[in-house]
Structures are given as C-alpha cells and as structure tokens.
Amino acid sequence: MKKQIHYYLGFIFCLVAININAQISEKSPPPTTLQDINNDLYSVIEIPSPDVTTLLQEDSFTDKHGIAMRFAVSTPVNINLPEDGTWMQLNDGSSICRIAITSKKAQALIMYYREFKIPKSGKLFLYDESKRQSIGAFTNFNNRNGGKYATEMIYGETTILEYWQPAGCNELPVIIIDDVSHVYRTAERIFGDRGFGGSGFCEVNIKCPEGDNWQEQAGGEARIIVKQGSSEVWCTGSLLNNERLDHTPYFLTADHCGPNATPEDYDQWIFYFRYQGSDCENPINDTAFNSYSMVGASKIAAAGGPGFESDFKLLRLNESVPLSYEPYYNGWSAKDETSGQGVTIHHPQGDIKKISTYTSPLISTNWGSVPNTHWKVVWSRTETNFGVTEGGSSGSPIFNSAGVILGQLTGGDASCTDTLGPDYYGKFSHSWNKIGTGAETRLQPWLDPDNTGIVELGGLVSVMVYEQFSQKNIKIFPNPCSGIAFVDFNDLDIKGVANLQMFDVAGRIVFSKNVNPELTKIIRLDLTEIEKGIYFVSLITDHKKYMVKLVR
C-alpha cells in the first residue's frame, strides 16, 4: 500500500494563500447572451493561416525526444479592442464593444496581449461563434499591472471578444493583442463523439481505479501552454512544497519546455489546474469544465535542456494559487534512492489528466554525457489499460511509493504501440545540489531556504481546503484530552464507508482506518501511548472532506 505523507497547516497559512488576482476569470455569461442579442454587427479581423503540412512534417521529427510538443504557432498583430472593435449601446444604457478574430482551419485560437488593463467597472468575455465555449468575465482583478497577459484557448476558427461597460462610464480599457496563436493539432476532437484530446488509446484517466490513491498528488499538477517566441507547446508540471511550508507557488517542469523563453514569454504561460474528467470514461467535451487556470510565471532555476544535466526547470507562479483550486504542494525526495513502484501523472498531447504506473525498480542512468542524471522507467499494464507517456507529458513528475516526487520527464520511447519502450526522468537528487554552484542551477536553495539540511519533504495541503467543503464537521470530545477521546459523527449525513486518519503537525500518519458512520456514530480513540501535542483528525468520503484539530 502506498504511504502518503502530508502536511496540514492551520488558518494563518491558509489566509496567506488566498489571492483573488490568481483567478483567471469570473464565471458569468456575456451581455449578448443575457439580453439575447444575436446580431453579427461587429468587426472581423482575419489572421493568415500557417502552412500546417510543413509544421506537421517538422513535428514528426521532434515529438517526445527531448523537444516539447508544438501544437500552435503565433502571428504578430496589433489589435486594439476599443479602437478596432464595434461599439453598440444596449437598452439599459450600458455599452458593448465586440470584435471577431478568425484564422481559417484553426482548431482553436489563443490571444496574447501586449497590454491588458480593465477599469473597475468593466468586464471582458471571450467565446466561439456558437457560444459553446465562453470564458469571463475578466475584470480589473486580472493583471493589475496592465502589462503582458494571455487568455486560455477558445475552440474553433473564430474567437469573439466582447467588452462591456456600464452606463455613464467613460474610462476605456487598454486591451491590445500583439499575438494570435493558431492551434493546428491536438484540439481536433474537442467537440467530437470520442471525447477530446489527442492522447493515445491506451492512456488511463486519473479518475480510473489506478488513480484512487493519488488524487491529492494530482491536485498539484497542471497542464501548461508554453509560449516561446512564435510557438506554443504542451507540457506538464507540478506545484512543490518547501521547507517553510508557506505555500510559495514553486512549480517544477522540464527545462526543455521553453528552453529559450524570455521573461515576457513566461508572463504569458497558461497553467490549467484540475483539467480532468469526472470519472474513468472520457468526457464528451471539456466545455463543461470549470476554469481553474492561471497566467504567468518567472523562471527561478534551471539545469539546461535534454543532454545537459537533469533537464529541470523551477518556476514561481506570478500569483498564489486560489484555495478554490484545491491545490496540493507535492512532496519530494532528494535522496538518490530508487523506487520499486509508483506512478507518473501527466497531460499527454494536452489531454485531460492521465496516470501511468510502474512496478519494476527505477534504474539510474543518463540522457546525455553526464552520468547518473536520470531515472529510467518501464511502464506496467494495470487494471484499466497500459498507461504510457507522450508528447505533452514532458515535465510531468514521477512519484515513488511514498507519494513524493523523484524527478521530471525528459523524454523516451514509450507509446501505445511500444508500451515497453523506456522513459527517462531527470533526477530530483541531481537537480538538488549537483549542478553548478549558484542558486540559479539548483533546487536546494529554494526548497530548503533556511539550509536545514532536509533531503525529503511530504506534500502540503491546508485545513481550510478541507473545511470549505462542508458547513458541518466532525466533533471530538474531550478536546483537549488526556488520553481517551471520542469522535462524534452524529451531525454528518454520510453514506457508506469513509476513511478516518490522524496526523501530527509534521504530517506523519498516527493511524488510518476505514469506518462506517451510518453504523457507528461515536468512535473511541485511545491516545494514551501517543505523545502530547497538536494533531489533526480527518474524515474523507467520496464527496466531502472534514477535519478538526485535536490537542493531546
């Protein structure tokens, strides 16, 4: 059984983590939907389409072999929404400004902005022509500095931008698009019958049985739209915990994901958290998903791409991750020790979150000329299928049986047609302190900022993430207790078996057992052999999570 290591922190840390700027948009329909305005009286700007045949020929030589998976290319533009768009006054005195941007045969479009600043009262929406996909409202909470920004991709050949301002408002937004990205692959099945995403037939969704014990680790992962100059590539990465347990949004991926990206490019990277289906089957489409995306990061440290050391890249997201995203800051191990079994969690070809399993020991090897920089892994068949990795999986973490990260994906040969082909993960232990002499090429200075000497750390989840899901909670009495305590479930309406666990403040599991609150409303805990201190007792069901602090 997989041993899970967690850290549960109190409210003082949780409150620091809340930052509304991180939310890419509010969820609300555009004014033309609310007022049933169906006319097409707006400007249309056509962007030249790229030579897709040539792009695909180039891609066939680069996918999955240390070069991240390109799926889109950008065209420079200079589109000023309030100047180039078409204004229209609504019956209530408010106004809208609309513009359509189109590129023939595009599977989707991504907007990149040179300047993006919205007045306090204004709102921006983006949608496709049929409004099957709509994002917004974007407000002045987004990108308050007014500089570089990006919005997530909208499916189809045409994206419509709709800006709304109330009656009497004279302040115009500053919304200037300087790049429009034409998505030419991996989004072709978004509205198809099979589901969406182009990943292979053998991949295993994170909500399949193989992912049952890995849901918290999956909460720390995101797919990334990586911008580098005029190209966009798919990659995967994960939030990392650090020695201070302070929710700093450190994010690990591969350095070959945008190896030549500029600081301006990093400000426009898009991170999609919780991009996954609700069960083991592929969803019909992804337009019903809530948006859990963020924009922007800065590069903190890196080791060079494939062939150069361990191919790691450490980012710091520009904003704290909102608690509504249920973030999990994954643990890690800098020990150069193999693992006999574990998983990787990833977004192959930009698809929804998948999981692949290994059951034979990782082998120490290298990708380039430096020895012992990588773990070699061969995947195993599991209950659902034979999960592997693909282009877009680059940067995804590999976990050991304790649920902590040992490295990130550089590349390899595994595929649905070569399930026994090996993959290679840059070692966390090599990235820790074996590259160069400065903080810009090592993980240790950032993840152990106080130089405590730790080489292993569990994952971090906050108490508030649990408590926000329910107004009721479990009760413990007496609390504080001197040895015997009772857990009371009488206020909870829980059906079936749930998991009861207790952790100390270091995240170590004191005990874990399955209980049935329908049958037993009060459970006796004998803590006489447990040291005095502060503990957290949690009850986890399929749909809710509860937690309460206990003082011994």
Q: How far is CA 282 from CA 129, 143, 206, 390, 479, in A?
A: 25, 34, 11, 17, 46
Is the CA virtual torsion 137, 37, 108, 218 positive or negative?
positive
Looking at residue 497, which CATH number applies to its domain? 2.60.40.3080
Instruction: Calculate mean pLDDT across residues 295-309.
Output: 87
Helices and strands of the chain, counted as H and E runs: 9, 35
The range of the structural domain enclosing residue 530 comes to: 469-551
Cα–Cα distance for residue pair 411/80, rounded to 1 Å: 40
Is 269 domain-assigned?
no
Is 533 domain-assigned?
yes
Would you call the peptide bond into 480 cis, given omega within 30 degrees of 0 as the criterion? yes
Query: What residues contact 527, with CB distance under 8 A and at least 6 apart?
Result: 481, 483, 484, 485, 552
By DSSP bridging, strand 397-399 and strand 342-346 are antiparallel
Upper half-sphere CA count for residue 211 (Cβ side, 13 Å):
25
Upper half-sphere CA count for residue 435 (Cβ side, 13 Å):
29
Cα–Cα distance for residue pair 130/111, rounded to 1 Å: 18
CB 236 within 8 A of CB 394: yes
Is 518 domain-assigned?
yes
Is 480 domain-assigned?
yes
By DSSP bridging, strand 250-254 and strand 312-317 are antiparallel
Is 454 domain-assigned?
no
Residue 3 pLDDT > 50: no
Looking at residue 178, which CATH number applies to its domain? 2.60.120
The pLDDT > 70 percentage for the chain reads 88
Beta strands in 56-183 (DSSP E): 69-80, 86-89, 95-102, 108-117, 123-127, 134-138, 149-155, 158-165, 174-183
Q: How confident is the model at residue 23 (pLDDT cuts 50, 70, 90)?
A: very low
Burial class (CB in 10 A: 0-12, 13-18, 19+), 435: buried
Among 441, 446, 398, 507, residue whose Cα is nearest residue 250: 446
Eight-class DSSP state of 531: P
Is 350 domain-assigned?
no
pLDDT for residue 506: 52
What's the order of all strands across the beta sheet hosting 545-551? 509-515, 498-504, 534-540, 545-551
Cα–Cα distance for residue pair 352/486, rounded to 1 Å: 42
Query: What residues contact 303, with CB distance under 8 A and at least 6 apart?
Result: 255, 309, 310, 311, 312, 313, 426, 431, 435, 441
CB 442 within 8 A of CB 427: no
Check residues 316 and 487 and name the one with the higher pLDDT.
316
Residue 154 pLDDT > 50: yes
Is 220 domain-assigned?
no
Cα–Cα distance for residue pair 400/376, rounded to 1 Å: 13
Last residue of a domain, one of 157, 183, 209: 183
Q: What's CA 305's distance to the chain center, in Å? A: 22
Highest mean pLDDT among 11-15, 120-124, 170-174, 359-363: 359-363
Cα–Cα distance for residue pair 127/332, rounded to 1 Å: 39
Longest Cα separation, the chain: 75
Q: How far is CA 520 from CA 116, 475, 516, in A?
A: 56, 14, 6
Tens of pLDDT, residue by residue over 358-383, are: 999 999 999 988 999 999 999 999 99
Q: If you write DSSP's letter for every residue of 17-55 in order, what string do you get?
A: H--GGG--------HHHHTT-----SEEEEPPPP-HHHH
Is the CA virtual torsion 86, 91, 95, 99 positive or negative?
negative
Last residue of a domain, one of 126, 160, 183: 183
Tens of pLDDT, residue by residue over 397-410, are: 999 999 999 999 99
Check residues 548 and 13 and name the one with the higher pLDDT.
548
Q: How confident is the model at residue 549 (pLDDT cuts 50, 70, 90)?
A: confident
Q: What residues act catalytically?
A: 256, 311, 394
Cα–Cα distance for residue pair 196/199, rounded to 1 Å: 9
Is 440 domain-assigned?
no
Instruction: Calculate mean pLDDT across residues 142-156.
Output: 88
Instruction: Calculate mean pLDDT across residues 150-162.
Output: 95
Domain count, the chain: 2
CB 305 within 8 A of CB 256: yes
Q: How far is CA 541 from CA 402, 511, 520, in A?
A: 22, 17, 15
pLDDT for residue 197: 60
Q: How confident is the model at residue 10 (pLDDT cuts 50, 70, 90)?
A: very low
Q: Reduced to 3 states, what is the DSSP secondary structure of residue 312?
A: strand
At 338, which amino acid appears? Answer: T
pLDDT for residue 452: 87
Q: pTM for the full model?
A: 0.80
Last residue of a domain, one of 158, 183, 208: 183
Cα–Cα distance for residue pair 359/357, rounded to 1 Å: 7
